[in-house]
Every structure is written in structure tokens, then in C-alpha cells.
Amino acid sequence: MGRAPRVRHAGASYHVFNRGARRQLTFTDDADRTTFMRLVGVVSSRHGLEVHAYCLMGNHYHLLVRTSEANIAEAMQHLISVYTRRFNLRHGFDGALFRGRYAAVLIEGDAQFMATSRYIHRNPAEAEIVNDLADYPYSSYRAYAGLDPAPRWLRTGLTLGLFARDRASFVRYVTDSSQSQPGEQRSAA
């Protein structure tokens, strides 16, 4: 029995994530992370993919993206296949790096979009890697908080617009662990 087809249409937003096969590390050092992030930029440009949030953990990644065309599958296939080839070449491995195909949760509405951004940015704190999200360099949180310049391909305007372009409101929303937001999702990653 085949897999259910993904919902794909132009202008759709998705929370995209995947974990390493056998929960192995998918990012072993800064060189791996830099390679992945550069490829995100290439895929963003080549496939018209808007990237609104990201977080790279040791054995998985999260992306909040919006498509300009109904091409999420092509964009993700490009990103993951090229990254896997480069990772394997660099580390002397072969075979699959990630477990199966990526997961893509369709985002429906501003509340779910905001909650997904919050979930992605809170990942390092929830995993107890850092206490202060500003200390984690492998997510888009620092760009949103105004601590680092955003990569050219990171689109912060939509998300910040949901907070009246007030970075302090965004930071409070993301960092306040006591609030549970409507529509906040948990992933299998």
C-alpha cells in the first residue's frame, strides 16, 4: 500500500522536519551546519521557497517554509539529497542519512504559523541544550531577536508582522515557557 499523497499547493506553509536514520547525528560540527544552511539558501532561490524559521539540532532539523509553487517535494528532495551526498563524502559514509521521507505538517492560519515558529525556536531549550535561546547559534531565533543579521534567504517580515513588527513581543512569546499557545504542535522529530 502506497503512502498518502502530500497536500501541495502554491502559497502553502509547512513545518518540515526529519531525524537522522537510527537517530544518528546529521550535523556533527559547524561545517555540516554551514553546508546545510547554504543549501537551504540555494533551494530557497532555485525553488521559490520562503524560509520563515529554522533550527538545526544534532540529529534533526526543523524548517518553517512557504511555497510559491506547489513544489515542496522537489525542494526538499533537492535539499536532502545534496546534503546527504556532501555529508557522506565528507565523513566517509554511504547510504541514507535521514529516516525515510521528511515530514511536512500543513500550517493553517496565523495562530498555527506563530505557534510553529515558537515550537521551532524553543527546540534547544526544550531539549535542555541551552537555558537562554540567545545562546543557541543554529536557529533563526537570534536573527528574529535582532542579535545577528538574518541570512539573505530568511524571511522574518511575515512572522514579525504578526507581532506588529515588535521584536520584544516576539521574544516574549517565544521565550515564555509558561504559556501554552493554541495550535502549538508537537512533532515526532
* Span 38-73, pLDDT tens digits: 999 999 999 999 999 999 999 999 999 999 999 999
CATH topology classification for 13-175? Alpha-Beta Plaits (3.30.70)
Strands annotated E in 68-185: 103-107
Domain ranges of the chain: 13-175
Q: In what order do the strands lie in the sheet with 60-67?
A: 49-56, 60-67, 13-19, 103-107
CA distance 45 to 52: 14
Q: Which residue has the higher pLDDT, 11 or 154?
A: 154
State the pTM of this model.
0.90
Alpha-carbon distance of 64 to 113, in angstroms, equals 8
Contact by Cβ (8 Å): 13, 64: yes
Distance CA(91)–CA(8), nearest Å, equals 34
Dist CA 4 CA 58 (whole Å): 29
Determine the average pLDDT of the residues in 17-30: 96
Query: Does residue 186 register a pLDDT over 60?
Result: no
- Is residue 52 within 8 Å of 117, Cβ to Cβ? yes
Find how far residue 107's CA is from the centre of its chain: 13
Assigned C-alpha cell, 134: 540567545
Q: What is the pLDDT of residue 188?
A: 46
